[in-house]
């Protein structure tokens, strides 16, 4: 066992013996994160916005309120803002100070989102960061970077892929990637290998 693992176990034992926490409650928290949140929540919201113009309008106007009307992803709280990608403007989200991220929509953030290379460069050289992801945009496209410095959480609404006319929300949701909702990627193209 690593030194850190031993210390973490020691802390949990102390907190348990002192009556602050129940280990079963910690198990339940971990299980809830593993099973109840994840990018599929955000993907459903994006797919609905692609399919339902009225929902899209309400999402862009007040994302917290719009998402709270969807029973399956109702725990989003009061501080969600959805930002729309267009042919003229690409949005990208970062937290330069720590790791703020829309957990309820996207799950726990990946390591790169919380690490120094992304946090340091996203606000100064977003095109360089996108290149690290293999993403390139036309050079005239505006890149808008949203630094999550307060409790607002940002969800990028990517552009709907072409060739998806008539697709169901469920089919569309399959194309929505986590990175496309952070702004470091695009949705999958229809027919592309998953």
Which active-site residues does the annotation give?
95, 98-100
Name the strand (E) or helix (H) holding 143. Answer: strand 142-147
Element (H, E) at 157: strand 153-157
With vertex at residue 101, the alpha carbon angle to CA 100 and CA 107, rounded to the nearest 5 degrees, is 135
99 labeled part of a ligand binding site = yes
The DSSP H or E segment spanning 16 is helix 3-17
Q: How far is the CB of 3 from other proteins (least distance, A)?
A: 11
Q: Is 100 annotated as a binding residue?
A: yes
Query: Among residues 114, 78, 63, 36, which one has the least CA distance to residue 55?
Result: 63
CB-wise, 38 or 190, nearer to other proteins?
38
Residues in contact with 174: Cβ distance below 8 Å, sequence separation at least 6, in sequence order: 43, 188, 194
Pick the closer one to other proteins by CB: 3 or 165.
3
* Of residues 58 and 99, the one with the C-beta less far from other proteins: 99
Helix (H) or strand (E) holding 144: strand 142-147
Give me the least distance between CB of 107 and other proteins, in Å please.
7
Reduced to 3 states (helix: H, G, I; strand: E, B; else coil), residue 91 is strand
Minimum CB–partner distance for residue 163 and other proteins (Å): 26
Q: How far is the CB of 165 from other proteins (least distance, A)?
A: 31
Shorter beta-carbon distance to other proteins: residue 51 or 67: 67
Known binding residues for Fe(3+): 95, 98-100
């Amino acid at each position: 066992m690593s030194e850190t693992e031993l210390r973490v176990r020691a802390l949990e034992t102390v907190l348990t013996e002192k009556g602050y926490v129940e280990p079963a409650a910690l198990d339940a928290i971990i299980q809830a994160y593993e099973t109840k949140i994840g990018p599929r929540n955000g993907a459903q919201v994006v797919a609905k916005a692609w399919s339902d113009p009225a929902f899209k309008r309400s999402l862009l106007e007040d994302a917290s309120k719009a998402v709270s009307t969807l029973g399956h992803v109702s725990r989003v709280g009061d501080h969600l803002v959805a930002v729309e990608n267009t042919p003229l403007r690409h949005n990208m989200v970062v937290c330069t100070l720590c790791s703020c991220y829309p957990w309820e929509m996207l799950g726990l953030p990946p390591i790169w989102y919380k690490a120094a290379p992304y946090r340091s460069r996203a606000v100064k050289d977003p095109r360089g960061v996108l290149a690290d992801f293999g993403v390139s945009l036309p050079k005239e496209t505006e890149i808008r970077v949203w630094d999550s410095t307060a409790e607002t959480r940002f969800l990028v609404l990517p552009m709907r892929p072409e060739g998806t006319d008539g697709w169901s929300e469920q089919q569309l949701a399959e194309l929505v990637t986590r990175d496309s909702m952070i702004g470091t990627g695009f949705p999958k193209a229809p027919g592309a290998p998953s």
